[in-house]
Structure 1
Amino acid sequence: MSARSELLRKLRDDVHRPLSKQEIFQEFSIPKDQQKIFADLLKELIKSGHIFKNSKGLYGVPEKFNLIGGRIEKTASGNAFLIPDDPEKDDIYIAAANMNGAMHNDKVFVRLIRSGRGKSQAGEVAEIIERVNQKIVGNLEKFKNYGFLIPDNKRICNDIFIPPDALNKAHNGQKVVAKITRWPEGNRNPEGKIIEILGDKDEPGVDIEAIIRQLDLPGDFPEAVLKEIKHISDTVDPEVLENESERLDLRDLKLVTIDGADAKDLDDAVSIEKIESDVYRLGVHIADVSHYVRPGSELNEEAFSRATSIYLVDRVIPMLPRKLSNGICSLNPAVERLTMSVFIDYKLYGKSGIEIIDHKIAKSLIKSNHRLTYDQVQQILTGKSAELKDKYSDFVEELEMMNDLRSRLRKNRFEEGSMDFNFTEVKVKLDQDGRPVDLVKREHREAEQLIEEFMIAANRVVAAEMAWRELPFIYRVHESPDLDRMQQFNEFIHNFGYSLKGIKNGIHPRSLQKILESVRGTKEEKIIETVLLRSLKKAVYSEKNIGHFGLGITHYTHFTSPIRRYPDLIAHRIIKETVTRGYLSEQRQEELENLLPKIADQCSLQERRAMEAERDSVDLKKIEFMEDKVDQEFTGIISGITGFGIFVELENTVEGLIHIKNLKDDYYLYDQEKYHLIGERTKKIFRIGDELKVKVARVNRDKRELDFSLVEKLS
């Protein structure tokens, strides 16, 4: 057991009072020449939230002080939730009055308090461990000789006071970046100083730059990294098979990469063979990024810091330099590439039955036959393009076998309990100046499902293998939802005629999938899916294997995208060591036990940041797309109803609000139990899913608000 694990175990199980640093040294018999190293470990554990140091300088695990560590997830209302570091713990509600100066994404300790929210846990921030929002981006509202920065991020609810000597020549209405110089206390706003002027808020390109600065997204790669990768060849070392005898030579195996038309970082290739009349061998071949990104290198440190590639509407901020992400690591066609391969043998039964009968994980060398797009694969599978079928005739049979396997895997997965949300994604098309010109819905057809199922299959097999070996590993986990949230969801869907049974004894994902299947194609589909998603916990990375509730899977990891996700890279390193040597030394296991919690926390945090950036950039461009459409009429459906109005979603996925004060024909009352508005005099009812004709009344890009006026109710 590692020193870290042993220290935490002892403080949790064997120690019955807080200890001073010297008492800890004595308890562990730490010699003087190693006390500084142990003191550094204590500091790291305090920073990570695993140990708490009280005002008297005494140490203990947080639970002994009745504290829970985690990160703050704030809402626009000013209230927040603590997302605990331990994925097995429930989220904790924190009222705005109990934030005690904490801001969105800060790492904190929270103390539980009496809840006024039914059975939901409530807490107050007891200590802020790490401040994340060092810089804030927003619009400057300047007064006589001072100003306020209005944050773009609506989760940061406090305006930032800018004193006269901190304005740095910024003008009213400019988009600026401020560094926090004084954190919020009580009712006092945080203070800051302007450190960068991005330009006029309506200037082209300033909006996306603001998102980049707001979330402190990485820019160009440091010179040290670029210098370090110069020695990396653009081709595979021809002696690699001689130097690595365990690496399989798969250059003659027929395989293909399938991705979006604009993708340049190709992580995966797939193959399929019919071993027997009723046995398929699926091959999932993933770029061997860990061959090039070595522990201790500048490249590795930068990849860890970024943790993920970020896909904004107008650019990609990669985790790895393009020399690797688009070059030697990308599985481009007709060139040799190093990979990690997962082979899975499936026994087929009848028209849709399937069972895994064997698997193998190995280092490999491949040479992809083709690079196909989802559109091309879809046209081949549906027989809509004889030209494509002819062009790729050498692979049509394999694609048809893959589609058969896809269908079986998908059916089996949903029968086991995986949940299938039907949310529509949209791609924003921009002109050369970065202005949105079209919103195109992304389809999730057989071609996209094919790759999705194969990647899930590989991730499952790899995670199960490592769990069976009982070795330290990084997992993708999704905890079961809180019982009280499921009860609230059950009360909500009861209004639409649906119900969950037996939830007092816990909920199985299959029960929720049945609800999703029941609402498919109905008026209430979107709102029920949205409320259900909000009732579930967020998937995170963890060294603890607690399973993945949403997928209905006991063992799951992320292994298939090491070009763009750091946890996948770490998974590759551990797997390679294991499959090459057959074991991990005790020293290596101890090292991983120390490293993995820190890596998991960093990867989860940066993933949330990336998702926030991607969502913000799309939402911003959606609002901008509607700016020149004021007074134009559109047809949409009611996607939500509240006491202050009706949310309407247009066919292009843009959502806006009809404020209740703008419903002129009657006074409308909100029936909270039935989730509809009803006219006091006319008894006219507005329900979720009703079709409306609306007119664009107001577009506010700064606040990202879109207001509609009602033209007529169509259904």
Structure 2
Amino acid sequence: MKKKKNKYNNFTTGFINITRYGYAFVNANGFQKDIFISKKNTNRALEGDFVKIRFKNRSSSSSGRIEGEVLKIIKRKRKNFIGILKIQSNYKYGSVIIYNKTIHVNIHISKNKLKGHFHNEKVLARIISWPKNFNNPLGEIIKVFGFSGEHKTELSSLLEEYEIPYKFPKEVEREAKKIGYEKNLETNQRRDMRNINTFTIDPIDAKDFDDALSIRKLNSNIWEIGIHIADVSHYVKEGSLLDQEAYTRATSIYFVGRVIPMLPKILSNDICSLHPKKDKLSFSFIFNINNKGKILKSWFGKTIIQSNRKFTYEEVQKIIDKKKGDFYEEISTLLFFSKILTKNRLNDGAICLDKMEIKFHLDEEKNPTELYLEKNNESHNLIEEFMLLANRKISEFVSLNIDGKPSQKTYIYRVHDKPDFQKIFVLKKIIEPLGYFLDIKNLKTSINHLLKIIKEKPEKNMIENLILRSMSKAKYSTKNIGHYGLSFVHYTHFTSPIRRYSDIIAHRLLYYYLLNKKKWKSKLKSVDFYEEQSKHCSYKERIAIDAEREFSKFIQVKYLKKYLGQEFDGIITGFTDWSVYIDLILFQTEGMIRLRDIKGDTYRLNQNNYSIIGKKKRKVYHLGDKVKVKLIDADIEKKQITLDWL
């Protein structure tokens, strides 16, 4: 009935999507196609506003496109915007320029509101009004972050943009400090593991230590291995102010040169952290394993441990390479078992995507002095395999009865759906001109083979990114659909409760199930409650990833400024109607060339969107082709690298 009503009514409402060129589309209920709004008919609407529109016509072209005009703005999506203040020497007003596509026009600040403000400040501006005969809205500055391009400015403005809290409320800090004064370690209710060789292995700059490994030989054929995770849920009580704050944040965020922790530092860096030579509370998975890598028996429960030593990945790698050093026998035994675990995982169909990470060294002023690519080595893989094992075994323990049948217990799973096959076909089409093949019927095996053969190729980074984009996004849910990428039927996140709230939920639920049935049934909340928490954790994880990426892009652009005018090898990674995107192989950073700036011919995008063709010489360039480019601009404000085609 609703559709009919829309058909004869000359008005409708919907959310407006405004392009960078000023024309727009409105998504309205009951209409299959978006309604087109020309630039002159947007009537001061901004991106995401809820608007009332009047139809100008119902099918103005052969495509049957419906056209309308905005009559009024029912609700603004937002009034506050972050941008860069520009003040010209003979100014009548200042302009706040916004580069992140949240708004398509600049905000004008009248002269009398510019007192005490300076050209190139990064600011938070509020729209006050938008008079009918003005092309731009009028605003005022409500916050100054500092001068554009400075480390502190970019970080604080990004935190504001993504609504990420970086200071803890005083009452939360007080609650955390109070925990610090309580020295009760409940040793009598825990399995005492303090006399067994235990150590942590972490990055060199780690401040929090979530996990430790213990190992001892029981006889010539059997070892006992313990995976010990900081018992954060012992300190962070459900419903407390600390718990509410941790839930709101849901994750620690790792920016270049700064961490925004989920928990106050007294907890994350001290009380909960598994520091060496100190009694620490942990939640553990302890198992016996024979020389063939078969797990014989398992135990889950609360423990008290004392780590003998804090290792960095580099130190452990040195011990592995030199075959000597502290705890060499324990480390080499753990490495032996981790390799068996890796082999089993790959045999079961796990995808072996091991991307290089871009890292930076910063000087005292937080300027990037060096960019380097970090690859996982054996010490990283050792830790990763045991964490994967703990996450899998814990979720199996909760999900299955002793007879292997489903237990129907509520749990929080880390799930990963099958890929979108539309995207897989696109991937297949893109890599075929480069001489690579993808077998859709044996997808995982084929992807692993592809990842193996591109290892030393210049197009490696591009193809890995395309594979990642074709995959579904992993998320949290109480509905277990398994983990496609890891090929696990049951999988959770349990091993990082200092930095992920999802893991605190997993700890609490496991603890309930270790109590007798009557007790845990009284503590358990509804499935809907845990599903809501899962969705929240997934949402906050996406925000953290986006914010980390955006800040990393700023650091990359700032670092590349010193290479202006230099020539580099690049790989074509994408096309639009007007530009080509190119990955600079040396830095694994993407830059852009406008099609009209390519000399020697006029290029246009082919219909398939994966290649461009020259009008005169008919020369074709595909995604993945290697090209020579010159770096001509690194714009920190736009976070954009501009290249010249050589």
Counterparts of 1:191 and 1:249, CA distance in 2: 66
**Aligned partner (choices 453, 475, 479) of residue 417 of structure 2:** 479
Q: Which residue matches 2:63?
A: none
Deviations 1:379-408 (A, max 9, x none): 11111xx8xx34x1xx10010011111211
Counterparts of 1:180 and 1:476, CA distance in 2: 42
Post-superposition shift, 1:272?
2.8
Residue 314 of structure 2 corresponds to residue 375 of structure 1? yes
Alpha carbons of structure 1 residues 682 and 158: separation in structure 2 relative to 1, 3 Å = closer
Counterparts of 1:649 and 1:330, CA distance in 2: 39
Counterparts of 2:632 and 2:489, CA distance in 1: 50
Q: Which residue matches 2:368?
A: 436
Kindly indicate whether the alpha-carbon contact (under 8 Å) linking 1:509 and 1:549 is maintained by their aligned counterparts in 2: no
Kindly indicate whether the alpha-carbon contact (under 8 Å) linking 2:568 and 2:584 is maintained by their aligned counterparts in 1: no
Counterparts of 1:557 and 1:634, CA distance in 2: 43
- Code of the residue aligned with 1:431 in structure 2: it is D
Counterparts of 1:587 and 1:510, CA distance in 2: 46
Query: Over aligned residue pairs, what C-alpha RMSD do you find?
Result: 3.9
Alpha carbons of structure 1 residues 296 and 700: separation in structure 2 relative to 1, 3 Å = same
Alignment of 1:118-267 (within 5 A): 135-140=80-85, 149-154=96-101, 156-159=102-105, 161=107, 169=115, 173-178=120-125, 194-203=141-150, 205-233=152-180, 236-237=183-184, 240-242=186-188, 244=189, 247-267=190-210
Alpha carbons of structure 1 residues 696 and 510: separation in structure 2 relative to 1, 3 Å = same
- Code of the residue aligned with 1:139 in structure 2: it is I
Kindly indicate whether the alpha-carbon contact (under 8 Å) linking 1:639 and 1:649 is maintained by their aligned counterparts in 2: no
Residue 499 of structure 2 corresponds to residue 552 of structure 1? no
> Please, which moves more after superposition, 309-318 or 203-212?
203-212
Secondary structure of the corresponding residue to residue 180 of structure 2: coil
Counterparts of 1:576 and 1:134, CA distance in 2: 46
Residue 552 of structure 2 corresponds to residue 618 of structure 1? yes
Q: Which residue matches 1:608?
A: 542
Alpha carbons of structure 1 residues 508 and 359: separation in structure 2 relative to 1, 3 Å = farther
Post-superposition shift, 1:638?
4.0
Q: Which residue matches 2:55?
A: none
Counterparts of 1:229 and 1:517, CA distance in 2: 48
Counterparts of 1:131 and 1:234, CA distance in 2: 48
Post-superposition shift, 1:519?
3.6
- Code of the residue aligned with 2:417 in structure 1: it is E
Post-superposition shift, 1:551?
1.5
Deviations 1:36-71 (A, max 9, x none): xxxxxxxxxxxxxxxxxxxxxxxxxxxxxxxxxxxx
Kindly indicate whether the alpha-carbon contact (under 8 Å) linking 1:666 and 1:681 is maintained by their aligned counterparts in 2: yes
- Code of the residue aligned with 1:229 in structure 2: it is A
Residue 383 of structure 2 corresponds to residue 451 of structure 1? yes
Secondary structure of the corresponding residue to residue 645 of structure 2: strand
Alignment of 1:313-352 (within 5 A): 313-349=256-292
Q: Which residue matches 1:363?
A: 302
> Please, which moves more after superposition, 453-462 or 625-634?
625-634
Q: Which residue matches 2:244?
A: 301
Counterparts of 1:231 and 1:299, CA distance in 2: 11
Counterparts of 1:79 and 1:266, CA distance in 2: 50
- Code of the residue aligned with 1:492 in structure 2: it is I
> Please, which moves more after superposition, 372-381 or 628-637?
628-637
Q: Which residue matches 1:470?
A: 408
Alpha carbons of structure 1 residues 560 and 132: separation in structure 2 relative to 1, 3 Å = farther
Secondary structure of the corresponding residue to residue 626 of structure 1: helix
Counterparts of 2:624 and 2:150, CA distance in 1: 38
Counterparts of 1:357 and 1:76, CA distance in 2: 61
Deviations 1:610-660 (A, max 9, x none): 111211111101101122322123344444455532513131223222333
Kindly indicate whether the alpha-carbon contact (under 8 Å) linking 1:153 and 1:214 is maintained by their aligned counterparts in 2: no
Counterparts of 1:602 and 1:345, CA distance in 2: 37
Post-superposition shift, 1:585?
4.1
> Please, which moves more after superposition, 618-627 or 679-688?
679-688
Alpha carbons of structure 1 residues 695 and 163: separation in structure 2 relative to 1, 3 Å = closer
Residue 342 of structure 2 corresponds to residue 410 of structure 1? yes
Deviations 1:7-36 (A, max 9, x none): xxxxxxxxxxxxxxxxxxxxxxxxxxxxxx
- Code of the residue aligned with 1:210 in structure 2: it is S
Secondary structure of the corresponding residue to residue 233 of structure 1: helix
Post-superposition shift, 1:502?
5.3
Post-superposition shift, 1:230?
2.4
**Aligned partner (choices 558, 561, 578) of residue 627 of structure 1:** 561
Kindly indicate whether the alpha-carbon contact (under 8 Å) linking 1:148 and 1:159 is maintained by their aligned counterparts in 2: no
Kindly indicate whether the alpha-carbon contact (under 8 Å) linking 2:580 and 2:594 is maintained by their aligned counterparts in 1: yes
Alpha carbons of structure 1 residues 165 and 661: separation in structure 2 relative to 1, 3 Å = closer
Kindly indicate whether the alpha-carbon contact (under 8 Å) linking 1:138 and 1:210 is maintained by their aligned counterparts in 2: no
Post-superposition shift, 1:301?
1.0
- Code of the residue aligned with 2:310 in structure 1: it is R
Alpha carbons of structure 1 residues 485 and 654: separation in structure 2 relative to 1, 3 Å = closer
Q: How many residues align?
A: 585
Which stretches in structure 1 are left out of the alignment for 5+ residues?
1-71, 83-92, 107-129
- Code of the residue aligned with 2:178 in structure 1: it is H
Kindly indicate whether the alpha-carbon contact (under 8 Å) linking 1:166 and 1:193 is maintained by their aligned counterparts in 2: no
Q: Percent identity?
A: 35
Post-superposition shift, 1:281?
3.5
Residue 586 of structure 2 corresponds to residue 651 of structure 1? yes
Secondary structure of the corresponding residue to residue 480 of structure 1: coil
Deviations 1:205-258 (A, max 9, x none): 2122211211121122111012122222368535x123x2xx100001111100
Counterparts of 2:139 and 2:416, CA distance in 1: 38
Secondary structure of the corresponding residue to residue 558 of structure 1: coil
Residue 344 of structure 2 corresponds to residue 424 of structure 1? no
Post-superposition shift, 1:691?
4.5
> Please, which moves more after superposition, 161-170 or 598-607?
161-170
Deviations 1:446-495 (A, max 9, x none): 11111111111111111112222322221111122233333333333343
Counterparts of 1:348 and 1:406, CA distance in 2: 12
- Code of the residue aligned with 1:485 in structure 2: it is K
Kindly indicate whether the alpha-carbon contact (under 8 Å) linking 2:127 and 2:139 is maintained by their aligned counterparts in 1: yes
Alpha carbons of structure 1 residues 249 and 165: separation in structure 2 relative to 1, 3 Å = farther
- Code of the residue aligned with 1:698 in structure 2: it is D
- Code of the residue aligned with 1:137 in structure 2: it is I
Secondary structure of the corresponding residue to residue 656 of structure 1: strand
Secondary structure of the corresponding residue to residue 358 of structure 2: strand
Alpha carbons of structure 1 residues 74 and 457: separation in structure 2 relative to 1, 3 Å = farther
Secondary structure of the corresponding residue to residue 426 of structure 1: strand
Counterparts of 1:432 and 1:438, CA distance in 2: 13
Deviations 1:531-590 (A, max 9, x none): 22112221111121121122121111110001111111111111112213356544433x
**Aligned partner (choices 460, 467, 491) of residue 392 of structure 2:** 460
Counterparts of 2:85 and 2:419, CA distance in 1: 41
Q: Which residue matches 2:6?
A: none
Alpha carbons of structure 1 residues 443 and 528: separation in structure 2 relative to 1, 3 Å = closer
- Code of the residue aligned with 2:145 in structure 1: it is L
Counterparts of 1:406 and 1:314, CA distance in 2: 31
> Please, which moves more after superposition, 158-167 or 527-536?
158-167
Alpha carbons of structure 1 residues 375 and 76: separation in structure 2 relative to 1, 3 Å = farther
- Code of the residue aligned with 2:516 in structure 1: it is R
Deviations 1:118-150 (A, max 9, x none): xxxxxxxxxxxx999775322245797776644
Deviations 1:581-608 (A, max 9, x none): 356544433x242421221122112111
- Code of the residue aligned with 2:187 in structure 1: it is L
